[in-house]
C-alpha cells in the first residue's frame, strides 16, 4: 500500500461516527474533534459530544436505513456535507456454539454488525454522489473476519461480510471519489473485551488467548487505535491507497510500540 495522498485531496470538515457512545467510537469522536472536524454522532442512546465539539448527537438504530438517512440529513443540514463516515457500531452476543444460540439474538447481531454497515455505507455513498470532493468510508472490521473462532459464528460471519461489502462499495463508488477502508482495530481495551474475557472455555475456546493479552498489558488503548485510523485512513497526508485494482484498503491496526504510546 502506498501512503501518497490522492491528488487534490482536501482536509475533511465533517465526520459521522456510529456507535459513538463509548469505546473506540467515543475515542474516534474525540480524535476527530481534536482535528477540528464537526461531528455527527449516533448510538443506541444519544452519545455525548467531546468537549468543545460542534456536533449533532442522536439515538439511532443503525439497522434502520431510513433512520440513518434521516440522521445523515440532519448532519448535512447543519454542516453542509459529510466528508467521513465511520461505521463502528457493533454487538458481540450471542457467544457460543451456533447450535445453542438464540436465533433472535443472532438476527439482531447481523442487523447491527452487517446490515447496519451496509445501510451506513449506502447512505454515505448516495451522499457522496451528490457533491464534488469524494469522501472517506471507514468500516470497522475484526480479525474474526478471517480467523474461525469457535463460538463466534455470527460475529465472524458478519465481520467477513463487512470486509466484502467494503471492497465492493469501494469499487462501485470509485468514480465518485469515495475511498473505502475496512479496518480491523486489533484487541482494544474496551467493554467488549471485558465481555470476551468473561466467556467460558466451553462457549468460547479461544478465551485464554484474550485473557493472556490482557494479563500481558497488550490491549491497545482506544485513543491509540483512533489516532492511527485518522492518520492512515482519514487525513490526506497519510492516507493509504488500495493495492492494484482493489476497491478498498483492508488493514489491521498494529499494536502500540509500548503501553500508552501515541501514534508514530
In sequence order, what DSSP letters do the residues of 120-175 get, joined into one string?
A: HHHHHHHHHTTSSS-EEEEEE--GGGTS--TT-HHHHHHHHHHHHHHHHHHHHTGG
Length of the chain: 264
Question: What angle is formed at CA 1 by the lines to CA 38 and CA 127, rounded to 5 degrees?
Answer: 35
Q: Average pLDDT for residues 167-175, to the nearest whole number? A: 98
- The answer to whether residues 213 and 187 touch, using CB atoms and an 8 Å cutoff, is yes
Report how far residue 64's alpha carbon sits from residue 254's, in angstroms, rounded to the nearest whole number: 33
Task: Kindly report whether the global pTM for this prediction surpasses the value 0.85.
Answer: yes
pLDDT value for 10: 72
Overall average pLDDT of the 20-36 stretch: 97
What mean pLDDT comes out for the span 6-35? 89
pLDDT at residue number 161 = 98
Rounded CA separation 56/136 (Å) = 19
| Numbers of helices and strands, H then E, in the chain | 8, 7
- Contact in structure between 39 and 33 (CB atoms under 8 Å): yes
User: Which residue, among 172, 168, 47, 64, has the nearest Cα to 116 in the 3D structure?
Assistant: 64
pLDDT the model gives residue 263: 44
> Do the beta carbons of residue 205 and residue 151 sit within 8 Å?
yes
Question: Average pLDDT, stretch 10-34?
Answer: 95
What is the structure's pLDDT at 237?
Answer: 84
pLDDT at 3: 40
Q: How far apart are CA 238 and CA 246, in angstroms?
A: 19
The reported pLDDT for the residue numbered 9 is 60
20 and 26 in contact (C-beta within 8 Å)?
Answer: yes
- Residue 48 to residues 22, 24, 42, 97, 255, Cα–Cα distance (Å): 9, 14, 9, 36, 28
The overall longest dimension of the chain from CA atoms, in Å, is 53
Q: Which domains does the chain have, with CATH numbers?
A: 14-186+222-252 (3.40.50.720)
Q: How many CB atoms lie within 10 A of CB 161?
A: 18
pLDDT tens digits, one per residue of 113-148: 999 999 999 999 999 999 999 999 999 999 999 999
Residue 6: pLDDT band (50, 70, 90) is very low
Average confidence (pLDDT) over 8-16: 82
Phi, psi for residue 158 in degrees, rounded to 5: -65, -45
Percent of the chain with pLDDT over 90: 92
The confidence score (pLDDT) of residue 258 equals: 65
Known catalytic residue at 149:
no
Residue in the structure block whose three cell numbers are 485512513: 233
Look at residue 11 in the predicted model and tell me its pLDDT: 82
How many angstroms separate the CA atoms of 120 and 130, rounded? 16
Average pLDDT over residues 35-43: 97
Looking at 2-11, 72-81, 95-104, 191-200, which range is the least confident one?
2-11
Q: From the candidates 71, 155, 181, 224, which is the catalytic residue?
A: 155
- Measured in whole angstroms, the distance separating CA 169 from the mean position of its chain's CA atoms is 15
Q: If pLDDT is split at 50, 70 and 90, which confidence band does 89 have?
A: very high
Amino acid at each position: 500500500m502506498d501512503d501518497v495522498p490522492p491528488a487534490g485531496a482536501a482536509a475533511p470538515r465533517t465526520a459521522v461516527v456510529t456507535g459513538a457512545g463509548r469505546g473506540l467510537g467515543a475515542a474516534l469522536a474525540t480524535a476527530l474533534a481534536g482535528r477540528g472536524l464537526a461531528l455527527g454522532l449516533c448510538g443506541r442512546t444519544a452519545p455525548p459530544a467531546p468537549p468543545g465539539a460542534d456536533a449533532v448527537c442522536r439515538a439511532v438504530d443503525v439497522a434502520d436505513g431510513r433512520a440513518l438517512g434521516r440522521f445523515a440529513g440532519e448532519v448535512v443540514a447543519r454542516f453542509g456535507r459529510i466528508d467521513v463516515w465511520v461505521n463502528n457500531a457493533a454487538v458481540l452476543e450471542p457467544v457460543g456454539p451456533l447450535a445453542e444460540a438464540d436465533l433472535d439474538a443472532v438476527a439482531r447481531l447481523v442487523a447491527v454488525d452487517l446490515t447496519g454497515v451496509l445501510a451506513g455505507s449506502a447512505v454515505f455513498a448516495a451522499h457522496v454522489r451528490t457533491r464534488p470532493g469524494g469522501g472517506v468510508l471507514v468500516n470497522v472490521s475484526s480479525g474474526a473476519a478471517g480467523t474461525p473462532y469457535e463460538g463466534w459464528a455470527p460475529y465472524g460471519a458478519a465481520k467477513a461480510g463487512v470486509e466484502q461489502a467494503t471492497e465492493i462499495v469501494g469499487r462501485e463508488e470509485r468514480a465518485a471519489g469515495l475511498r473505502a477502508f475496512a479496518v480491523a482495530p486489533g484487541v482494544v481495551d474496551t467493554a467488549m473485551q471485558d465481555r470476551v474475557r468473561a466467556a467460558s472455555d466451553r462457549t468460547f475456546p479461544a478465551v485464554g488467548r484474550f485473557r493472556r493479552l490482557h494479563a500481558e498489558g497488550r490491549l491497545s488503548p482506544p485513543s491509540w487505535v483512533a489516532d492511527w485510523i485518522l492518520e492512515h485512513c482519514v487525513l490526506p497526508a497519510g492516507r493509504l491507497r488500495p493495492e492494484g485494482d482493489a476497491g478498498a484498503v483492508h488493514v489491521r491496526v498494529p499494536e502500540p510500540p509500548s503501553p500508552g504510546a501515541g501514534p508514530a
